[in-house]
A and B are shown apart, each in its own frame.
Chain A
Amino acid sequence: MFYRQAGIRYTSYPAERQLWPLGIERVLMGLILALALIAPALLSPLLLSSYLLPWVIWSIAALGLNLLMGGAGQIHLGYAAVMAIGAYSATHAARAGLPFELSLLVAGLASAVIGVIFGAAALRIRGLYLAIATLAMQYIVDFAIGHIPAISGGTQATVATPTPRILGIPVEGPVGGYYIALVVCIVVTLFMLNLRRTSFGRALAAIREKDYAAEILGISAFRYKLMAFWTSSFIGGVAGAILVFCYYRSVSPEQFHLETSVQLVAMVIVGGLGSVLGTFLGAALILLAPLALSALVASLASSGLPIGSDLRAHLPLVLYGALIVGFLIAEPLGLAKLYDNARKYLLVWPFRHARS
């Protein structure tokens, strides 16, 4: 009964275009935001640092990837490499004495520049070929980081990240890291939500749906695809930097291999292409699923089933694969669509007729 459109009247176009038209949804969003802000006081340090913090950070990254995949319709199989570029450039910038805020900017710019170069190379191609080109990016970046000691600090090396300082004040511990990640996450989330109601977002969607029709409306497909790669890579770079500064507290090549890229694609597809809420749900599911799985495997192993450590190590990947395939078959629009169905159901409850 709270989900009602009846009685809602708009007196201006901006009011009609607000992010959450239903009062109940605005209340919910406010509640979630408040909970997110006081989470460090509610959750145990363990829950905060090993569940909530990675969820927030991976959501930032997945939102960046969703801008490209859901927003502009371009696949990217090397998004972890984009994050790696940001992580390494921010680390080196900060170690060279740059303030943390500027290091984040450096991370975003470095990833955006390199990301856009690969994007430009990939512009003339689509679908499968684009997938392979971005895969090549993953391997080239992996190779470059692994083989240039100036970046990686030597083979198999781990470079510690300095403590982030905001306006010169050191931000230590998981709580500080959480708030940094949360602020960035809120900014990126608002950007993604606004895409739906600005000419920039519509131009990306137009290119995704029908590039020739977009062209004849004055939208240069070339330019907007590059802009999508630029923006998405910028977000990815910042997310990578936050990941190593606030979560891992050190940076090493194996944090950003192909598995991570696959994981990110899984978050976007399972969550729902182009959906902001879905991205958060997808990130949560992909982060939680392996934990639940390894708990299950551990209990099976202890009950006597012969499960090798090799199999154990690869089970999460198998699970991501299964989730991607499962969602593509059963619900291509992802968790976001499941939520949408529930919302539509509530809108017309107790009647059963919901459109689409």
Chain B
Amino acid sequence: MDSLARSQRGEKLAQVVMWSSAALVSAVFLWMLSDLVTNGLGRVSWEFLTSSPSDSGRAGGIGPIVVSTLLIVSVAMVVAIPIGVGTAVYLAEFTSTESLLGRLVRRSLDVLAGVPSIVFGLFGSAFFCKTLGLGFSILSGGLTLACMVLPILIRSVEVGFREIPDHYRLSAAALGLSRTSTLLHLLLPAAAPGLAVGLVLGIGRAAAETAALIFTSGYVDRTPESVLDSGRALSVHIFDLSMNVPGGTPNAYAAALVLLGLLLLINGAASGLAHRWLGRNIATL
């Protein structure tokens, strides 16, 4: 009787602890969001999204910065997706989990995934900007971001492939289907949820990146004419406004709100697509 009462009390306590930690996390997010919205929403308008900044960003909008951000993220994805999917397929389908090469590649990726972005920034500025002579440019920034998101992308796509039950591969082989067409028509669609998750995580990390971009794509806040021009990313803009520009805080809030909106949009689009194509909820993947 006594022990029953005690275990019930224990359960109650556990519930309270879990409930309050969940509430705390949501509260922090909501507080951040309301802070951004109250301070930033008043300034966000079509005008703000499209016009150029003036007075070091205290006035004007963020048009060129949005363009640069989208360009940098696009370069990163165009480079990272084929390399990432290729490597993931190689790891999942052509090496066993125990093989030396497989273990080596996986271990390196896990280490790379934990490397602080500033290190990627230094590497990018040494390698892409100087050694390859690309200078401060959208291209340098995009390539640096590609290096940075590749580990996450590869690992989540690989997991997507490993989660496909073996009977797909067996029944396809038993029908005399080649490895390539099994891969293209059967495994790739089945691994699409993993791919979508990897993309969301990758784009999210890329779009919000600051440290890796300061040294590679630079500060210039004009609209870039090509990927070889320098361009300022949103997060760099926010950093600059809040740290280096006295009186820049209001516009920093507005830009941060735009960045958050962009991330939510990407997230929503990816889970919507996954839902529509695969009939599965991205949160439960």
A and B are interacting partners: no
> B: which residues have CB within 8 A of A?
none
A-side residues, CB < 8 A to B, are none
